[in-house]
Structure formats: structure tokens, C-alpha cells
Amino acid sequence: MSNQKLFHVAVVGATGAVGEQIIRLLETRDFPIEKLTLLSSERSAGTKLTFKGNDITVKAATPDSFKGVDIALFSAGGGVSLELIPHAISHGAVCIDNTSAYRMDPDTPLVVPEVNIDRINEHKGVIANPNCSTIQMVAALKPLYDRYGISRIIVSTYQAVSGAGSRAIDEMLRQSKEILAGNTVEPQILPVGALPVKHQIAFNAIPQIDKFTENGFTYEEMKMINETKKILGDDSLEVTATCVRIPVVYGHSESVYVEMKQDFDLEEVKQLLADAPGIVLQDNPAEQQYPLAADAAGKLETFVGRVRRDLSNPRGLNMWIVSDNLLKGAAWNAVQIAEYIAIEQK
């Protein structure tokens, strides 16, 4: 890596759950960094974070924070992205946005490196990171899509509370302790912080992630539907989704049913998955081996198992897809994109 170009990298939302993971990954991946600027809201500014043994003071993000920045990773909410990304672009930064702000913008590439890294150079200053539940699903489906074609996807998710931020994790753990002690709980955060009605998440399953749209689906479900079509570049793909929060801290699980356009060989399906980049096949019923959220936590890969043919439709396939929602579902996918940008620009 000698003579490699070094980059001035900014992390916006540095004190959040995803921001923390991004900083850790930039460190462990030894990203070619010349300078690291950590940005946050006014409220969190002044926090000191450690990067490669040095303390860095987090500053409040403003339009002027991006002077000299080469790559800016945003995960501070859609409003912050919409406000600050135009300024970052005008200062010459390439932005990687973890929020939903730019995902469906036709001029913005929506990238999962294992699926469509070829779109990365089409960017006009911003590359969008897909929704966590979408990323792991399309990463696992891509080799099957390429080989057989996929006509429809029916997915039900089992999503971790960390997807709703650190306060949701705290709430779930606190509720669990209270209920185990025989006390009642007063839900305050989940399912959606900005909405009035709160539900118990400990020892429960909440079929609402994000707000509802007018068609009865939630925004989370619409993200899975629309982003999957955009990433695979296939508007004819039929997708339906039910997104559910369960009392797990890290790791989204998904029960995915797909219909292929062609007949498939089940052993070939497993081999395609085993050989796919970023995918680990964990599928041995005889040994009770299949992906588990608790095992996937902290890992970068997407794990796939319970791969079996639908007994009523020979072109139907059931599978179980698990990945760490803060890593491949957010921070790692963003840092992967940053690594590709670094390679392109070196």
C-alpha cells in the first residue's frame, strides 16, 4: 500500500450506533486515511472518540465542515443528509449516505458492492447505502437472480432493535429486566420514536418498523420492495414484505420465499450461494446448522441456510438469511463502497 493516495474522510453521525461501527471498520480495515473528521449534532459535539490510539473531538456538523473532505459517510438521519450533502458535494466530497434520503433518487446509485458495484461511477456526488433489511436479502439473492432469474420475492423479517438506534437497544434491555423482575413496563421508544403509540418490545413481536404509508405497508416494507427492484435493476420483479421487530439486539433474520423464472437444481443453488462473495452458506439440517442472529452479530458476512424447494411449486425456494444489521446492513456496506472509491481514485 506504499504510494497509495490517502484520503480526508468525514463521518457524520459519528456518535451514533452506525457511526461507531464505521469508525471501527475504518480502523480495522486500515482504510487509507490522511485525516478523519468526526461530526455530529450540536448535542453530541465535544464527545471524544478514539481512532488508532488518538483522541478525536467530535464537532458539530455544519455546511462548512466539508472543506477538503474527500469522502463523507452520512448516518445521522435523512434530514441531516438532505441539508448537508449538497454542501459536501459542493466542497468536492463524494458522499456515501446511509439514510433513505437519496436512495430512490434516479440520479443516485443505490449500491451493494456484491450486487451492483458497476453503478458506483454513475454517481453525481452521492452514493446511497440501501436499507439494512434490503442489503442482506439482495446480496444473497444476486447469484440466484443471475443464474435463473427471479420473478417474485415474499419476505418476512425478524429485525433487531439496534436498527432503531441505541435508545431502542436500551429500552429493550430495560424492559426485559423489568418483566423478569415481575414489574410492568412503560414503552417509550418503539416501534417508532416519532409516533404517539408505543408498544412493549421485550418478549414480544411488533409488526411495525417505521411509519405506515397510505397503502397499508410501512416505509420499511416499501423500502424493501422498491430498493430491491432498483438494486437489481428490474421493475418487473414482484416483491412483497412484512417487517417485524423482535427482541434481538444485533442481527436481522429473514424468511425469504422466491420464485425462479427457470427450473433449478437445489444442489446447484447451494453451490452458487456457497461460492457467492460475502455469503456464507450455513445449511446442514442433520447437524441443526442454520444461520442465527446471535452468531451473525459482529460478523461482516451474510449467512444463508434452510435452503429448500417449495413442495407445491418446483420453481419456489425457501431460505433463511441473517446478517448483522449494523455491519453489512449499514456500516460495512458503506465502508465497502468507500474502499471501492479509494481504489478508483488512487
> What residues act catalytically?
132, 252
219 contributes a contact to a second copy by CB under 8 A = no
DSSP string across 5-34: --EEEEEETTTSHHHHHHHHHHHHTT--EE
Q: Work out whether 3 is an interface residue with a second copy (CB under 8 A).
A: no
Q: Could you say which of 116, 156, 167, 315 contacts a second copy (CB under 8 A)?
A: 156
Q: Is 120 exposed, middle or buried (0-12, 13-18, 19+ CB in 10 A)?
A: middle
* Binder of a second copy out of 34, 42, 146, 310 (CB under 8 A): 310
Check binding of 293 to a second copy (CB under 8 A): yes
Q: For residue 281, which phi and psi values (nearest 5 degrees)?
A: -80, 120
* Residue 166 marked ligand-binding: no
Q: Assess 182 for contact with a second copy (CB under 8 A).
A: no
To the question of whether residue 78 is assigned a binding role by annotation, the answer is no
Site size with a second copy, rule: CB under 8 A: 60
Q: Would you count residue 60 as binding a second copy (CB under 8 A)?
A: no
- 55-to-47, 152, 308, 327 alpha-carbon distances in Å: 10, 49, 50, 23
- What is the C-alpha to C-alpha distance for residues 270 and 83, in angstroms, rounded to an integer? 44
Which residues does residue 7 pair with via DSSP β-bridges, in sequence order?
33
Tell me, residue by residue from 160 to 179, as one string, x for binding to a second copy by CB under 8 A and - for no binding. -------------x--xx--
Was 53 annotated as part of a binding site? Answer: no
Give CA 269 to chain center in angstroms: 24
By CB under 8 A, residue 191 contacts a second copy: yes
Residue 294 makes contact with a second copy by CB under 8 A: yes
CB contact set of 118 (below 8 Å; sequence gap of 6+): none
In sequence order, the 6+-apart residues with CB closer than 8 A to the CB of 334 are 18, 22, 73, 75, 96, 98, 129
16 is in an annotated binding site: yes
Residue 46, classed as helix, strand or coil, is: coil
* Shortest reach from residue 21's CB to a second copy, in Å: 19
Ligand-binding site membership of 103 (annotated): yes
Binding mask 16-35 for a second copy (x = CB under 8 A): --------------------
Cell of 248: 434481538
Give the interface with a second copy as residue ranges (CB under 8 A): 152, 154, 156, 158, 173, 176-177, 180, 191-192, 195-197, 199-200, 203-208, 212, 215-217, 225, 238-240, 242, 244, 246-249, 253, 255, 257, 285-294, 305-313, 316, 318, 320
